Amino acid sequence: MNFIRNTIALIVGLGIAGLTITLGIRVFPQWVTFDAFAPFEHWQRFLESMQNNDAFFGFLLFISGLGTTIGGVVTAMIVKYAKVAYAILIGFIMLFLAMLDVIVFPYHPTFYKISIFLTFFPFSWIGGKIVEIIYERQKKKRTSEKINQS
């Protein structure tokens, strides 16, 4: 049963991280160079048009970190055990997808290619740690309430 729960947690966390990143790109209308919302269909042309726009890639790093943190938080909330490990797994999968993007589409600047390694793991770890700290505080609170009742 834990396997199904953990798999669902990973899928939900990845979906939320991907949705956050996709919606983050759509925040600035001047960056969007296509009419229909089909991010994968127009991605190559979009990256080619953004090739010399370092602000976009800096924002993409920021929104990727935010999305990975949120995805890590959601995943850690759903899984029962090893909350930080599953959140880090979200970061690993997102890093793998970002590396595929860099390999398939050669329009990314060098600082972005290097920075994705420094973005996904720390931010996903932070997401897992947030949930772990919250759960530990709740556990301590429940324990102290039981002791006070005795």
CA–CA distance, 137 with 41 (Å, rounded to integer) = 45
CA–CA distance, 17 with 28 (Å, rounded to integer) = 19
The number of domains in the chain is 1
- pTM comes to 0.85
- 27 versus 33: which is more confidently predicted? 27
- Contact between 65 and 126 (Cβ < 8 Å): no
Query: What size, in residues, is the chain?
Result: 150
Which residue in 77, 39, 80, 36 sits closest to 60, CA to CA? 39
* pLDDT greater than 70 at residue 38: no
Full DSSP string of 92-139:
HHHHHHHHHHHHH-TT--HHHHHHHHHHHHHHHHHHHHHHHHHHHHHH
CA–CA distance, 71 with 64 (Å, rounded to integer) = 10
Share of the chain above pLDDT 90, in %: 52
Count of CB atoms within 10 A of residue 50's CB? 19
What is the 8-class DSSP label of residue 50? T
* pLDDT greater than 60 at residue 37: no
Q: What pLDDT sits at residue 41?
A: 67
CA–CA distance, 21 with 56 (Å, rounded to integer) = 12
* pLDDT greater than 90 at residue 93: yes
Q: How confident is the model at residue 33 (pLDDT cuts 50, 70, 90)?
A: low
CA–CA distance, 81 with 84 (Å, rounded to integer) = 9
Residue-wise pLDDT for 123-135, tens only, equals 999 999 999 999 9
Which residue in 130, 142, 149, 120 sits closest to 74, CA to CA? 130
Q: How confident is the model at residue 61 (pLDDT cuts 50, 70, 90)?
A: very high
* pLDDT greater than 90 at residue 78: yes
Q: What pLDDT sits at residue 46?
A: 74
Full residue range of the structural domain in which residue 19 is found = 2-149
